[in-house]
Structure formats: C-alpha cells, structure tokens
Structure 1
Amino acid sequence: MSDDFLAAMAAGSRRRAGEARVRIPYDALERQARQAAAPPKLRLHARFDLIAEIKLRSPAAGGPARADDDLPTRAAAYAAGGAAAVSVLTEPSRFDGSIHHLQRAARMLEPLSLPAMRKDFIVDPYQLVEARAAGAGGALLILRLLEPAELASLVAVGRSLELFLLLEAFDAADLDAARALIDAVGPEGLLVGVNSRDLTTLQVRPERLLELAPRLPRAVPCVAESGIASADDACAVARAGYRVALVGTALMQSGDPGALVRELVDAGRAA
C-alpha cells in the first residue's frame, strides 16, 4: 500500500464519485440524506472502546474475498460483543466493498443505537453525503490524501450531516496535519487514528502505535488501527493513551468475533 497505491485508490475514488453524481445529482442525494432519520451517535466509554470492521477482502492479506451474505450476522455479533461502532469497507476494486454493504450494516445497527462508519478513500464531499444517505453515522478520512483546505471542507460537510470523522494518520507528519486541522476547526466530532501498516511493504508494525503515542493530539479521542489481535495488544495501546482500537482482520478471521470483541474491550478497559 505505497503512496502510489494511495494515489491510484484516490483516482478510482474520484471516478466513482463522478459516476455516482451522474446517477444521483448532489442536491438530490443531499435532500435524501437530510430527510433520513438521524444516525446513532458514537458514544465512547471513558476508558476504552472498539470499532469493529467488516472487510470482505484485504489487499495485504490476499486470498479470495469473503461472501457478503453473513454481513448482518457479523455486524450483530460485533454489537453483542460490545463494539462502539462498526466500520464498513465500501471500496470495490481492491476490497470488494460496496455502499450497499454500509447500508445493510447501518440498517441492522440502527435499532441497537450503534453507528456504522464508512471506510473508503474519500476525496469528495459527495461521498460523505452518500454515506449519510446510506445510514452511516461516521466516515474515515485519510489525511495524506487531502490538502488542508480539502480536509477542512470535508469536516464542515461531515459536521453538517452529523457524522463523526476519523482522521487517519500513518506517521508523525500526518499527526502534525491532524493537530493543525483540529487547531483550525476545533475538535467537535473528530477522532484521530494511527494506522500501523507500513505503506511501502504492506506489513503491520504494531510498535509504530507506541512510537507515535507521545505525538497524539490530546484534544480528541485517538484510535489504534491495524495489528491489534489479542488482549495483550489492546492492553498495550490503551496504556499508551489510545482510547479506541479499530480491529478488522483479526475479527474477520475469528470463529467467534463477538467474543473477541468482548475480550479486547475488557482488556483495554482493565489496562
């Protein structure tokens, strides 16, 4: 997942957004989004929480994609285990995702008062409106894909739609960009995540979460992403100052994802 990969994903994302605008114009989609019921709010525990992820395929892991027929069941298991939110990959070309997956998860989670979060290579305000129209309560923004003015604009749109926004960082420079954005627009509705995956090799470096912990912004909840698979992992990131973990691969590979969610949440809160 090099910068070239990110650039390719961003280009594909812009193309998808443009094609979607042809099918449903921005104004029409925005009316649909604003007429929909408000999504559940993200409510975080004072000590530690978990965002559980649904991804049918991972370019890093390889192998065949999972079928999407168990998506509602998996979302229900995450909720039963105590997840604070469910992240849903919607990128189609490399992750086999779909906006319809987000819609299905959000529909299942809404009665449980848990938000779904759109995870994609978001580059266009249209994609935030699309997420809100699908029932999402949040979305992820990759800091290095966007210029400061673009980020500020997307944050303004997200806030107007009552979405929480997870700002994803990969290194210290990204965290500096996150801090500058928070200083400029305020912390409301924002989280900052550190993804421990190396963008050049695709390998996960869990130690990066601890190395970057001293640079975490203190004004918002911070999220540890990638490489968290055990109670010890959850304990370590909680002690380092992360208030949330985002876990995908370990849960997708688990035979009892609800139990693993509970194990990780309990370990983080006991740290």
Structure 2
Amino acid sequence: MASFDESVVGRWSDERRFDVTAEGLAAYADAVGSPSPVYAVVPTMELVFAVAGTAAPADLRARVVHGQQDLFFHRPLRVGDRVAVRAAVVGLHGKRSGTVATIRVQTRDARGELLNEQYVTEFYRGVPTGLSVGTPAPALPAEPPAGEPVRTATHPLPADLPRRYADASGDHNPIHLDDGAARAAGLPGVIVHGLASLAIAGRAVLPDAADVSRLSCRFTRPIAPGDTLTTRVWANERGYRFECHDSAGATVLGAGLAEA
C-alpha cells in the first residue's frame, strides 16, 4: 500500500476562481430545503479533493470518510461575487485505527478580503500510521451537551437527496450515488452527504443564518436517504450546541457548534 506524502503539508495551492450565481445559490437551497451558509463549501469542493489527493494516493483515497467540518464566516457569499479559493493540507496525524488529514481552505473576494475559512478533516479508515506532522483542526467539544434542548426539529431525507445535493454542490463521490460503490466501501448502501445533513440541521439550529460566525460538526455515523434527521439544539454562551440523530436514535452529527 502506498504511503502519505508528508512533503505537501503546509504547501498552499494556487488560487482558483469561482463565480457565485443566483442559479447556483437557488439549486443549493432547493437541495437542502432552504438557503444555507454551508453553500460556502461549493466554491471549494473541487480544490479540496485535488489538494487531498496530493497527500494520499488513490488506493488510500478509497478508504477515506469525512471526519468533521469547521466553517468560520466573515460575510456570506452573494450573487455576483467572484471569489478566489486556496487550500493546503496542514496536518497528518496517525491513530491506531487510521490517519487524519486536515485541510485548511480560504475564500477571498476580488479585493483579497477573507470571506470564510474552513477546516476539512478526512479520516483514512484502517490506515494507521505514526504520523504527527503539522497542525490538527480546531478542537470541537469532547462532551455531549448537558440539560434539555431548547428546541428539536425532525426533517425527512428524500430518496433523491444524494443526487440533488451532488448536482448542487459538485460532490459526486460514488458512495452517495451508487449502491455498488457504497457497499464496496463497507457501507450498507448509498448514504447522504454529511454536508447535506449539516445544511439541513442548520435550519433548526440557526434562527438567523446571516448572524453565524462559526458552524461546525463531527460526522459520527452515515445516514441513508429515506431516513429522518432529528436535530436537538442547546443554547450556550456563544450561540448553540447541537446533535443530530437518525430514526433509530443513533448520533449522525455530533459536537455541533453554531456561534454568532
């Protein structure tokens, strides 16, 4: 089996340009049920995949799952924005059960002002290493929220959600679109994109999405299209904590944070 390339850690990519259009924003909102700040991932999608591939060859990429996502917002993306995106693998850290790759992404406007910054964590299942290179993603809460939630909302996940989300986001990973590919990856069948679940959860978490400065979660378990996503929300001093569960009560998004 090929190994990770440590030499790419900290090496920023060239910038890529992306035009934010009314059609693109509308397609994303239609896929997840409402406008969402998680649309910020769309301009970065292709570049994140390309940069991740510089650290891990194809035979390792077949073992990767999305570990967590951490988005920091300075202002929302708007129709007419022409943004510049760059990314870098900033950390490779081994565990007994696999290896974590952390990718940092920055999106700037035409004047060079930072619009948002993202940390994408990938976990390579069954690929343990002794690596400890670079920096990990910002910490998410280690303990579940305490007390009773301030609100709970349940959203059904349509059977065609993975296809619609793939077309709206640009993420056509076959585990979200093809049962055979999903089973070959050790899954029971097609699963919903984690970021689609996060965007849908945001409808319950965020009273006013325009006010969010940070939105983060850990993807703890896959959820299938046709299931239901239940989001439980707790208030804290900086905004909200949240968790999401499937119809069986299993946690599918954990360590959720939404900060003003």
> Does TM, normalized by the shorter one, top 0.5?
no
Give the number of the structure whose residues are more often helix, by fraction. Answer: 1
> Normalized against structure 2, the TM-score is what?
0.32
Give the number of the structure whose residues are more often strand, by fraction. Answer: 2
